[in-house]
Chains A and B, each alone.
Chain A
Amino acid sequence: MFEAIAFYLFAFLTIVMFYIVVTTSQALYALTALAAGMIFISAFFFILGADFLGVVQIIVYTGAVMALYAFGMMFFDTTRGVKEKQGNKYIISGLSTLAAVLIVMIVAAPIVSKNIVAYYPVVEGVGNVQQVGMVLFTKYLVPFELAAVMLLVAMIAGIVLAGKKMDLSITLMSREEIEAMKDESNKKVLS
């Protein structure tokens, strides 16, 4: 009973929030609605018994990703509404066709594959976090390490890309100044 109420409530809220993200013209509204939608999605994970996943969802998405977007938006002019010209009708119709096919596929897929066997069955009497640890550090150890390396690479790439010449804005400089700066750096490399 309460599961049903929670499911329908959070489904409604999530759909509304993501609809706002897709349709609004204000970047700040979109950011806020996306953060709210992420928290509502973590509610589904808690309902489904995946506690650790829900906590990770809140920490990573609303803690790290949203903070990253908020910091990134300091660089952009977000006070001005986003100007977008509307696409043509063919794209919209093709899109809805694709979405309809997708609905059929997703609903039909679990019916087709009735003979699913659980490779890592849920053990009774063991907490979710404990079980995540057991599976993650035995079977999925190598992908886990690879994900760690990938996050490190992404962090270094982010620092290198965004942190370069923080103190000056290339958009506010004239073309001559940029060329002069390029020549200077070339000289530094050559000498």
Chain B
Amino acid sequence: MMEIGLNHYLVLSTILFCIGLVGVMKRKNLLMLFFSTEILLNAVNISFAAISHYYGDFTGQMFAFFVIAIAASEVAVGLGLLIVWFKRFGNVDLDSMSSMRG
């Protein structure tokens, strides 16, 4: 109980990932969907750093850096698209984005 091992971090990462997954499925507002995506990426980062620490390997931390870079660029492009959509239609609701009749 008092000794924190790799499994503790993996379980924590799983819990956070599940919270993010529920958010992605449950949310209908696109801004909230972006927040949930950030949670998913962060949960994965924790497990990368933990595995990197407990196996003495540096690759996990490197991957976490690239994940952070991808998250930053995703936010920039996604928020730009979101602003354009909001200017045109006045809401960011997922259900209203069915103009392609998919």
Residues of A within 8 A of B (CB): 1, 3-4, 7, 11, 14-15, 18-19, 21-22, 27, 30-31, 34, 37-38, 41, 44-45, 48-50, 52-53, 56-57, 60-61, 64-65, 68-69, 72-73, 75-76, 82-85, 87, 91-92, 95, 98-99, 102-103, 106-107, 110, 116, 118-122, 131-132, 135-136, 139-140, 143, 147, 150-151, 153-155, 157-162, 164-165, 169-171
Contacts and interface: CB of A to CB of B under 8 A. Distances in A.
Contact of B39 (A37, A45, A56, A132): A37
A57 B68 contact: yes
A110 to B, nearest CB: 6
Contact of A34 (B2, B38, B58): B38
Interface residues of B, number: 76
Contact of A41 (B46, B55, B58): B46
Interface of B is mostly: helix
A147 B75 CA distance: 14
Contact of B23 (A1, A21, A50, A61): A21
A119 B23 contact: no
B11 interface: yes
Contacts of B56: 118, 121-122
B76 A157 contact: yes
26 contacts: A7-B4, A18-B16, A21-B36, A21-B39, A44-B50, A48-B49, A52-B61, A56-B65, A60-B71, A65-B75, A69-B35, A99-B18, A103-B14, A106-B10, A106-B47, A116-B57, A118-B57, A119-B59, A120-B58, A120-B59, A132-B65, A139-B62, A155-B73, A169-B87, A171-B86, A171-B88
